[in-house]
A = this chain, B = another copy of it.
Amino acid sequence: MECTHKTEHEGAARRALENMPPEEEVARVAATFKAISEPSRLKILFALRHGEMCVYHIVEAVGGAQSAVSHQLRLLKACGMVRSRRDGQNILYSLSDEHVVAVLELACTHLHCKL
């Protein structure tokens, strides 16, 4: 394979090559977006936008089995999108920082999603 339009887009191609982030960084960014790319997890994040909630209420809001929600919460926590704290028998989850909120806002703004 070879390129026939030698000069026209060389600039873009060269800059793309020079500025490609290292594999590790690409993987990290991809992993972050992966968290919001599954409906079940996205619903959890949508729910938590309204404040700190225990697992019971999260299950109530997003549907599905408690076990499934718990597994997803673990993933979300592992990639830093939510955090948790214990309160008696309950464990309360919340969005971990403003970055997460920003991503959700973006989803709504740019995808015409009424929230």
Chain A residues near B (Cβ < 8 Å): 1-5, 9, 11-13, 15-17, 19-21, 23, 25-34, 36-39, 42-43, 46-54, 56-62, 66, 87-90, 92, 99, 102-103, 106-107, 110-111, 113-115
How far, in whole Å, are A30 and B89 apart by their CA atoms in the complex? 32
Q: Let me know if B16 and A42 touch, CB within 8 A.
A: no
| Given the contacts A16-B50, A50-B12, A51-B9, A1 and B56 also touching, CB distance less than 8 Å | yes
Pull 5 A–B residue pairs with CB atoms less than 8 Å apart, ordered by A: A3-B54, A12-B50, A23-B39, A26-B39, A29-B36
List the number of copies, as a whole number.
2
How far, in whole Å, are A43 and B106 apart by their CA atoms in the complex? 20
Q: Let me know if B33 and A33 touch, CB within 8 A.
A: yes
